[in-house]
Amino acid sequence: MNKFPTIILFFLLHLASIFAIFPERMMVSASKGHWMPVAIIFLVELLVVRLYLKALSKFPGKTILDLCSDAAGKWGARLIVLPLLVFLFLEVVLLTYYLSVEIRTVLLPKTPTYATSAIFVALCFYGAWKGLSVMIRASMGWFILFMPFILFSMLISIGNFNVRYIFPVWDSQFSFLWRPDFYVGTVIFAGFLFLGMTPSHLRIRFGTAAALVGVIFLFALTAVYVPLLIFGQETAIHFQYPMLMASDTVDLEWVVFDWLPSFYVVSSSGLGLIKVAVLLSMLMTMLKQLYLPKAKNRWILAVVCLFLYAACQWIPNAKALDKFLYINSCLCLYSTIGFPIIVYLSTKWRRKEVRA
Amino acid sequence: MQHFDPEIVQSLESGLQERFHQRSDFLCKHVVIAGEKFKAYYFRTLVNLPKTLSILNQIGIDRKNDLKWNSIHSMEVDAPVSLNELYNHLLRGKLILLGQEGFVAVIEPEHAELSRPVMSPNSENPLQSAFDAFTEDLDTNIGLIRKKMISDQLVIETRSVGSQSIKKIALVYLKGTTLPEVIESVEKKLEENAHHELTTVRDLTQILGHPKFTLIPTYISSELPEETVQNLLNGKVVILMDQFSFAFAFPAIVSDLWSTTLDVQYPLLFQQFLRTIRGASLLLSVTLPGLYVVLNSVNPELLRIQLAITVAKSREGVPYPSLIEALLVLLLLELIVEATIRLPKNIGPTITMIGGILLGQAIVQAKLVSNLLIIILVASAISNFALTSYMNAVGVRLYKYVVLVVSSIFGIWGLEAALVWVILYFASLTTCTVPYLSWSVKGKTADE
């Protein structure tokens, strides 16, 4: 049993958020001490992952869906999972839209969005159709192919840092807690939910997960601080793609390429692809197991992908995207914090029942 | 040796005559062995009769003492039960003796010389290894493996496959090293499809239930016993086909694209270096033509301005879009590769010269394609052949076109999408219960 690919997938899914949506939200949410919201988010994640994995480890061989339906019955499980489904769908739509627009703006200004997002959705469909364990295996390939680009695009702009922008480092009022953007940042949590759907021999232990969260925390900090240290908070919050702008500030003599932000787009779209594909395959499994047991996997997926594609065309602009992100953050809080706690409590309750 | 009712022998005789009367190499001869008269039935092309007779005469046929028959190890005596079995024996090159008083014997004779001896390999060029190669004879091949690998864990199962024409195959694996699931799945498929005809390698993969359309071969073929032994040690199942001088190791995994088993003969550092080079060549041969089109026509702003100008300059006067340009030259390149493969060795260099030097030079000077394209495509072709086997290279050669077309439409994003698709495709492949993206086929280290 080699769990390495699972670890890699866990890592990549978080990186996907770090390369889209997460850093700009963190910057907007706090006016000083940006490491605080990031740290808080990761502490919460640590806690939730602990509960989630604990619940799963009690019942090896069962997925979260089995656990829910055992504890709450079929209809109860459907009710519990429904917000999660909506969250996953919205998340997938938003991410796809965000990345298609990014690809169009930076790489293909003349190609219409419907073409770039078509190929995006088609690839995700293919990945999700093949299933979660295929995605887990594929994550190794992803890692080898994209990691150089990821590191490159994160670190090239280090030369332009202005260290003074790091101050002030402490926000005594915790003002970010009152900003909705802080909660939008919790989309990064969606990266651990897949652990509950994997075959049990591929599950990782909490210790490993905790170490990973630590590594990811470092990456998240870098992603937030790179634009901050280059532009300063006042400027950075006005960018739609701060990381991308940061990589545009450098001019490397020894690279044959001039337009360095394309590296950023390549890595962020690659990561986005794997995240959307994994979330889609989760969505498919949930729909199949709880709502449509008779339908064929591939048809469910095809319909979901059609909706996804249509929804992406329907979102008019980035402003609307913001609105949806706010709506989605409530669902996100439920799905990534509430849901694991429910799963944990249900297993606890069930164990008592079994003992009695 | 068996005694039958003379009437039965009569019917056997007429049956044989009837069945094989149009086969000109089927003979019936009266022979005398140890003073007794027999009728010998055999295929002239498969049996060396004079030699067999002289051996039989030396031994002498003692019909009363069966022990003497058994003591001669090269002779095999079977009791034929039916006419059909006699046919099969004859077709496999045995000699049938019918005597007076209903005496019937099937004898393993001296065979006519039809196999070539063990020689050095023709399609592979090993550097530091044993140089003997497989031949067409199944038993010789098995013997070669046995000789290279002295182990009681080496299991060799011989089976016959096919209904109209029967093919002998041997299933070879190392007990305890090969995963039991892999052996089981191969055996199951062989049993299920035992009646399928087996004449080509594709038949073999179909019998094993591998998908019909794959981008990469699901097996590794090798002409070298040395390499086959390494494959066995790596936990693969090897299938040898009679009259086929290659061994097929199942299942292939992703690392077989860039590692040959003979690498282990070199120092570790060299091995890592060579494998890294091959890995890089895999990536280059897939992406280079696509990258050319991307940087030329879709995303030229990616390049540094000086370089972009150089690229544009080299295409000055070329009348068509870079995709067409690339496709044209690629087609020419494929033609050269195909043309040189089957040519006799003394004409091959001519084609290379015409294709490479004359055409390459002329096509650029005529401003039909750009200089840069020639460089790129040649680099791509060379890196393609740096891969470990010809079979792997063909798949990569094919996929190159997909990358080319997609990236001409979607630029760098298309290139990325094509690479992502191929990763997903590889991840979804599973042959003989082993996922294609595994580290190794051995024991517990395999994924899943």
pLDDT tens, position by position, A234-273: 787 888 788 778 877 877 777 777 777 888 888 889 999 9
B420/A123 touch (CB, cutoff 8 Å), yes or no: yes
pLDDT under 50: residue ranges of chain B: 64-80, 443-448
Distance CA(B57)–CA(A179), nearest Å, equals: 106
Neighbours of A49 (CB within 10 A): 24
DSSP codes, B128-196: SS------S-HHHHHHHHHHH---TTEEEEEEEE-SSS-EEEEEEEETTTS-HHHHHHHHHHHHHTTTS
Q: Is the pLDDT of residue A351 over 70?
A: no
pLDDT for B269 equals: 93
pLDDT for B61 equals: 55
Q: Which residue of B has its CA nearest to A254?
A: B304
> What φ, ψ does residue A233 adopt, rounded to 5°?
-55, -45
Q: Is the pLDDT of residue A81 over 60?
A: yes
Average pLDDT, chain A: 83
pLDDT for B446 equals: 38
**CB distance from A262 to chain B under 8 Å?**
yes
Q: Which two tokens stand for residue B297?
A: 């026509």
Interface test with A, best of B257, B303, B407, B423 (most A CBs within 10 A): B423
Closest to A238 in 3D by CA, of A69, A40, A28: A28
- B199: buried, middle or exposed (CB in 10 Å: 19+, 13-18, 0-12)? middle
B303/A258 touch (CB, cutoff 8 Å), yes or no: yes
Top pLDDT among A64 and A200 is at: A64
Its pTM stands at 0.86
| Residues paired with residue B96 on neighbouring β-strands, in sequence order | B41, B106
B299/A262 touch (CB, cutoff 8 Å), yes or no: yes
State the nearest Cα–Cα gap between A328 and chain B, in angstroms: 28
Pairing state of beta strands B103-107 and B77-78? Answer: antiparallel
Distance CA(A115)–CA(B298), nearest Å, equals: 15
pLDDT for B250 equals: 84
In whole angstroms, how far apart are CA A97 and each of A128, A307, A310, B423, B444? 18, 13, 11, 23, 42
Calculate ∠ Cα A78-A80-A84, nearest 5°.
100
DSSP codes, B88-146: HHHHTT-EEEEEGGGEEEEE--PBPS-SPPP---SS---SSS------S-HHHHHHHHH
In chain A, count H helices and then E strands.
14, 0
Q: Which two tokens stand for residue B334?
A: 């494929």
User: What percent of chain A is helix, strand and coil (3-state, nearest 5)?
Assistant: 80, 0, 20
Pairing state of beta strands B237-241 and B167-174? Answer: antiparallel
Top pLDDT among A190 and A10 is at: A10
Average pLDDT of span A178-188: 81
pLDDT tens sequence across A316-341: 777 787 788 888 888 888 888 888 88
**Distance linking the first and last C-alpha atoms of chain B:** 55
> Tokens 């939730």 belong to which residue?
A48
Calculate ∠ Cα B166-B167-B170, nearest 5°.
140
Would you say the ipTM is above 0.85? Answer: yes
Closest to B149 in 3D by CA, of B130, B168, B135: B130
> Tokens 């033509």 belong to which residue?
B289
Q: Which domains are present in chain A?
A: 4-355 (1.20.1740.10)
pLDDT band at residue A83 using 50, 70 and 90 as cut-offs: confident
List the single residue in A1, A123, A134 with the smallest CB-CB distance to B417.
A123
DSSP codes, B228-240: HHHHHHTT-EEEE
pLDDT for A356 equals: 54
> Tokens 């992703």 belong to which residue?
B254
pLDDT for B60 equals: 62
Which residues of A fall within a CB distance of 8 Å from B419? Answer: 145
What long-range pairs does B186-189 form, CB within 8 A, spacing at least 24?
Answer: B186/B237, B186/B239, B186/B250, B186/B432, B187/B157
pLDDT for A1 equals: 46
Q: By percentage, how much of chain A surpasses pLDDT 70? A: 97
pLDDT tens sequence across A278-301: 999 888 888 888 888 888 888 888
List the single residue in A127, A137, A142 with the smallest CB-CB distance to B435.
A137
A262/B447 touch (CB, cutoff 8 Å), yes or no: no
pLDDT band at residue A124 using 50, 70 and 90 as cut-offs: very high
**Helix H or strand E encompassing B423:** helix B390-428
pLDDT for B402 equals: 92
Q: Which two tokens stand for residue A41?
A: 């988010």
List the single residue in A103, A138, A255 with the smallest CB-CB distance to B424.
A138
pLDDT for B417 equals: 92
pLDDT band at residue A184 using 50, 70 and 90 as cut-offs: confident
Burial of B272-311, coded b for 16+ CB within 10 Å and e otherwise, reads eebbeebbebbebbbbbbbbbbbbbbbbbebbbeeebeeb
- DSSP conformation class of A45: H
The three-class DSSP label of residue B252 is coil
Which residues of A fall within a CB distance of 8 Å from B301? Answer: 258-259
Interface test with A, best of B424, B430, B440 (most A CBs within 10 A): B424
**Chain Cα centroid distance, residue B163:** 22
pLDDT for A286 equals: 86
Average pLDDT of span A45-57: 85
**Chain Cα centroid distance, residue A104:** 21
Q: By percentage, how much of chain B surpasses pLDDT 70? A: 90
Average pLDDT of span A80-105: 87
Average pLDDT of span A160-188: 79
